Structure 1
Amino acid sequence: MIKPAYPVRTERLLLRPFTPADHAALHSWQSRPDVVRYLYGEPKTPEETAESLAMKAAVTWPSKEGEHLSLAVEREGEVIGEAVLKWLNEQHRQGEIGYILHPDHHGHGYATEASRAMLDLGFDHLDLHRIVASCDASNEASWRVMERLGMRREAHFRHGEVFKGSWGEEFVYAILEDEWRATR
C-alpha cells in the first residue's frame, strides 16, 4: 500500500486531501436539500460541516480497514465536490467508492473523471481486488456514472430499508481489479 503523491491529477481535475480552508466549499453542497436527497442525513449547519471537514481532513490515506479517504475535487482552483474511497475489508481486499459534486458542476463528466482516479488509487495504491459503489435506484445520474466506469450492476435491493420516510431501493455496482485493468 503506497500513499499517492498529492494532488492526484486527471485531465481536468485535481484531487487532494481536504484542509480547513475548504469549509465554505464543502458547506456549499452539504447544506443543500437537493444534494442530500439521496444521502443519509439532512442538510448540515455550518457547525456540522466543520465536524465533517475535520473528519475528512484527518485521513489523508487509509491506513487500516474501515477508514474512508475523502478527497476534495478541484477544477481550475475551485473545490467543486468530493470523491471517496473506503477500505471495507483488508483480508478480502474490498473497497468502495463514492462521489458528490456541487449541482453547478453536474453534467460535465467530473464525477466519472474523479471516480476513475479513485478506482486507480484503490487498485494501484491500496491493492484492492474488488471495488463497489451504490446509490438510490432513482438516482439515474449516479448509476450512469458507475456504468460509464465499466462497473456492473450486481444487486437491486427493493424496499431494503425505510429511507427518509419511505421504502428505499438501492443499486449496487462492482468492478474487479482485472476488469478495471482491461479497460485502461
Structure 2
Amino acid sequence: MDLTRALPLTTDRLLLRPFVPEDPEDIDGMYAYHRLPEVARHLYRPPRTREQCAAVVTDAATLPTWENDGDALILAAERAVAPGVIGEIVLRCASAHARQTEIGWTLHPAHGGRGYATEAAAALAAFAFDTLRTHRLFARLDVENTASARLCGRLGMRREAHLVENDLDGDRWGSEYVYAALTHELRRA
C-alpha cells in the first residue's frame, strides 16, 4: 500500500505528517519530549538522546508498505496554527493476517490537557480502520498513565486486559492495561 497518497492527515487543529530527517526542527522537537524522564517512564525505557531521536526520525521518514507484521507508521503531530513538533502518533501492524493494529501517542507535557492527543488519536484510529482496513485496534499503556487511559475511553475503546508486572524499566516492574475496539465498535463511539 502506498501511504504517501494518504498523508498528511489534518484535523481541526493539527497536522499529522511524516517526520523529515533533513529538518533539524523535527529532531529537536522530538528530543524536547523524549529527553524528559516523565515521558520515558511510561514508555519503559530511559530518556533518549538527541542522536537517538535523529535515528528514530530517520527511520520514521520511510513509510511502511503495511503488508508485514511490525510495520510502523510514526507521524509528527504539530499544531496547524504554529509549526513545530509537539508529539507523535504511531500505528504498528501487530498482525497483517488478522488485521490487528496497535496505536500509541506521545505528546510533550507542555501541550497536554488541551485535547491534542485525543484529536490526533481519533484521526489516526479512523485512518487505521478506513484506509488500512484494521479489524481490531488496541493500545497498551502503563497502568499509572491515567491520561492515556482516559484517552482510550474517549475513543470508545474498552479495557480488555490488566497485565501485572509484565515489563521491567530498570529496577521498576511496570504493569500495563490493554484497551481495544473493533472497527464497528469504534465507529459507533
Mark the CA change 1:160 to 1:5 in structure 2 (over 3 Å): closer, same or farther: closer
Preserved CA contact (<8 Å) 1:2 1:126: no
TM-score (norm 1): 0.93
Q: How many residues align?
A: 183
Distance 1:114 1:181 in 2: 16
| 1:30 positional shift | 1.1
Structure 1, gaps ≥5 residues long: none
* Percent identity for Structure 1 against Structure 2: 44
Q: In the alignment, does 2:78 pair up with 1:74?
A: yes
Q: In the alignment, does 2:46 pair up with 1:42?
A: yes
For 1:99, what is the secondary structure of its paired residue?
Answer: strand
Preserved CA contact (<8 Å) 2:2 2:65: no
Structure 2, gaps ≥5 residues long: none
Q: In the alignment, does 2:153 pair up with 1:147?
A: yes
Mark the CA change 1:169 to 1:13 in structure 2 (over 3 Å): closer, same or farther: same
| 1:6 positional shift | 2.4
Q: In the alignment, does 2:178 pair up with 1:172?
A: yes
How large is the Cα RMSD of the aligned pairs? 1.5
Q: After superposition, give the CA deviation of every residue in 1:11-31 in whole Å (9 maximum; x if it has no partner).
A: 111100000211110111111
TM-score (norm 2): 0.91
For 2:101, what is the secondary structure of its paired residue?
Answer: strand
Distance 2:62 2:7 in 1: 15
1:129 to 108, 117, 135: 135
| 1:44 positional shift | 1.4
For 1:15, what is the secondary structure of its paired residue?
Answer: strand
Distance 1:174 1:168 in 2: 20
